[in-house]
Amino acid sequence: MSEISSLTRALTEGRITRRTFIGQAALLGLSMSAIMALVEACTSSTSSGTGQKAKMLIGLDTDIDDLDPMDFKSDAAYEVVIQTYEMPVDNVTKPGPNGTLEATTDLQGILASSFTVSADGITYTFKVRPGATFSNGTPVTAKSFEYSYRRALLGPGYAALVMGMLTIKDPSQLKAVDDSTFQITLGSANPMAAKLLPLTVLDVMDPTVSNQQATGDDKWANAYYKTNILGTGPYVKGSTWQAGSQYLLEPNPKYWNPSKVKNAGVLLKYIPSSDDRLLLLQQGDLDLAFGLPAKNLDQLKSAKGVTLWTFPSRNTNYVVLNSHIKPFNDVRVRQAIAYALPYDTLIKNVLYGFGKPLKSVVAAGMPTSDETGWPYTTDLQKSKSLLSDAGFPNGFRSSLAVSVSRAEDADTAVWIQSGLASVGIQIEIQKLSDADYRAKQGADQLPMFIEYWYSWANDPFYQMFWLLQSKNVFTNLAHYANPQIDSLIQQGMYNTNDSQRTDLSKQAQTIFDRDVPLILLYQRDFVIAGRNNVTGVSVYPDQYLRFWGLSKS
């Protein structure tokens, strides 16, 4: 009898699902009618009408590898860091369609109760939020801000790149004026600052514990933060934390704004197979499933009890043509390829409609994006003519590499192969492991490969800097070098005049359209798949979901 009561209590408290309850109750010998009566009684008491917060269950597509906010890490690890740490400022949100929350470009204080920007746009002053503490109870002070920004600038990880873009190059630019005031002085006025300051790599960390955990070889306590969480965010590491399996985030009892958290915690289950996540979502054993490929999303379009929250995204997908390898150094060959690809087919057969053609290196949705200059549609005659002009009337042979971990890229490659074959270009598709793919890419051995890019900062020059700048940028995978583009990017990066910035950006886009070092394919939508009863889905510039708003009826 006590087992039955503990089972019913578990169901009432949302610790087990209805399915588990039914299975276990049957094992205890209860009749089906008795079980169903108990289910009815238990679930009616957990309805939203009682005001009880529910625990959320999310299926992850990647595992958690590293929890240091300033390290490069898996998507799952970023998700956890975002829920458990906070920045001084974040984007303001507004209600979107279907009960969603959408981040705007405006900033609001989070760990900073307020902030001001000097008239010349160089000095940012943050007032520390009174009462905010780390999850161990240590108060957040201006020293915490200063330590964290210094760590970003000088410590491990790649946050230094963000600091560089903010034009912070020296620790003297970071100053705790008093216990509650922190000030940063930029190298120059910076139109990207408002887009970079809310990035999660600039999370606030506890200097006291960091210094306690630091060692001679690891003075920023990187080893400690890789596996421990000590933030100020709405959640803390929960009692269930099983590597490779499941991770519980529980509401932070010391959180400064507890009313913001609409659920009683989130259990993250690592389920590597997308088919399994799909099945569990359909069966009601997950509230949300992350990382479902378009093929799975298409299966969910008409599924009962499932909602797809679809947001346009600045996600850019393209074919890289390596200009170090002939004949891709010839602009006519690149243009010929651009005219040979089946763009509409890719949207229909690879993305199943969850996306749109990408027609500018500054993706649609980004300020100054201009699609009008992109001339390339599928035009095989024009493609053949360009190939003839380039000295390849009968085409040529090459290879197209994809990473096996990105299933959609493999499908895209097949359609590209077919499109190019129509103009005589015979390509072999190479499916490579992630490690092999990156190694061959780094060694300059891949003539053509499929890549994607997503700029966390919604800024055209941020995007073009990483994709097209020729010097000291290792993400310019096509090795594209055009002094005009370099100059336009340099002029536009820190230009605070909006109309000049727009003009410079459009000039760069026009040159890109002519040179096509990357063959633009599509912008894949940002889609979150979940059960119908889930509300509070949010979309931020970094496309990581904020769990605090999630609830279910």
C-alpha span between 38 and 8 (Å, rounded): 7
Q: Name the residue type at position 332.
A: R
Stretch that binds another protein, among 10-18, 136-144, 174-182, 536-544 (CB under 8 A): 10-18
Instruction: Please report whether residue 169 would count as binding another protein according to CB under 8 A.
Output: no
Residue count, binding to another protein (CB under 8 A):
64
* Closer by beta carbon to another protein, 101 or else 407: 407
Maximum CA extent, the chain:
85
Instruction: Please report whether residue 249 would count as binding another protein according to CB under 8 A.
Output: no
Q: Work out the angle between the directed axes of helices 18-27 and 32-45 (0-180°, nearest 10).
A: 140
* Closer by beta carbon to another protein, 26 or else 92: 26
* Closer by beta carbon to another protein, 167 or else 495: 167
Enumerate helices (H) and strands (E) in the chain, giving the number of each. 19, 22
Residue pair 340/386 in contact by the 8 Å Cβ criterion:
no
Whose CA is closest to 541, among 80, 159, 61, 92? 92
Stretch that binds another protein, among 125-133, 330-338, 360-368, 437-445 (CB under 8 A): 437-445
Q: Which of 15, 53, 150, 332 binds another protein (CB under 8 A)?
A: 15
Instruction: Please report whether residue 228 would count as binding another protein according to CB under 8 A.
Output: no
* Closer by beta carbon to another protein, 19 or else 348: 19
Instruction: Please report whether residue 363 would count as binding another protein according to CB under 8 A.
Output: no
Instruction: Please report whether residue 444 would count as binding another protein according to CB under 8 A.
Output: no
Q: Which of 247, 437, 526, 544 binds another protein (CB under 8 A)?
A: 437
C-alpha span between 35 and 25 (Å, rounded): 7
Instruction: Please report whether residue 271 would count as binding another protein according to CB under 8 A.
Output: yes
Q: Which of 20, 45, 213, 257 binds another protein (CB under 8 A)?
A: 20
Assign 230 to helix, strand or coil.
coil
Q: Tell me whether the omega of the peptide bond preceding residue 327 falls within 30 degrees of 0, making it cis.
A: yes
- Backbone φ and ψ for 328, nearest 5 degrees, come out as -75, 0
- Extended beta strands in 142-228, E state: 174-178, 181-185
Q: Which of 39, 280, 303, 511 binds another protein (CB under 8 A)?
A: 280
From residue 257, give the alpha-carbon distance in Å to each of 132, 234, 253.
Answer: 9, 8, 10
Beta strand pairing call for 518-524 and 355-357: antiparallel
Please list, in sequence order, all residues whose beta carbon lies within 8 angstroms of the beta carbon of residue 475, skipping any fewer than 6 positions away.
Answer: 453, 466, 467
Q: Name the residue type at position 172.
A: S
Q: Which of 29, 244, 253, 483 binds another protein (CB under 8 A)?
A: 244
Q: Name the residue type at position 206.
A: D
Q: Name the residue type at position 200.
A: T
Q: Which of 12, 35, 38, 59 binds another protein (CB under 8 A)?
A: 59
Element (H, E) at 382: helix 380-389
Instruction: Please report whether residue 10 would count as binding another protein according to CB under 8 A.
Output: yes
Whose CA is closest to 347, among 404, 275, 412? 412
CB of 276 to another protein, least distance (A): 6
Nearest-Å Rg of the Cα atoms of the chain is 26
Q: Which of 158, 171, 394, 514 binds another protein (CB under 8 A)?
A: 158
Instruction: Please report whether residue 489 would count as binding another protein according to CB under 8 A.
Output: no
Instruction: Please report whether residue 435 would count as binding another protein according to CB under 8 A.
Output: yes
Instruction: Please report whether residue 69 would count as binding another protein according to CB under 8 A.
Output: no
Q: Which of 262, 269, 384, 531 binds another protein (CB under 8 A)?
A: 269
Burial 52-71 (b: 16+ CB within 10 A, else e): ebbbbbbbbbbbbebbbbbb
* Closer by beta carbon to another protein, 349 or else 470: 470
CB of 104 to another protein, least distance (A): 26
Stretch that binds another protein, among 30-38, 280-288, 391-399, 543-551 (CB under 8 A): 280-288
For the segment 23-52, give every residue that binds another protein (CB under 8 A): 23-24, 27-28
Residues that bind another protein (CB under 8 A): 3, 6-7, 10, 14-17, 19-20, 23-24, 27-28, 55, 57, 59, 63-67, 72, 158, 161, 226-227, 239-240, 242-246, 248, 267, 269-273, 276, 279-280, 283, 285-286, 404-405, 432-442, 453, 472, 474-475
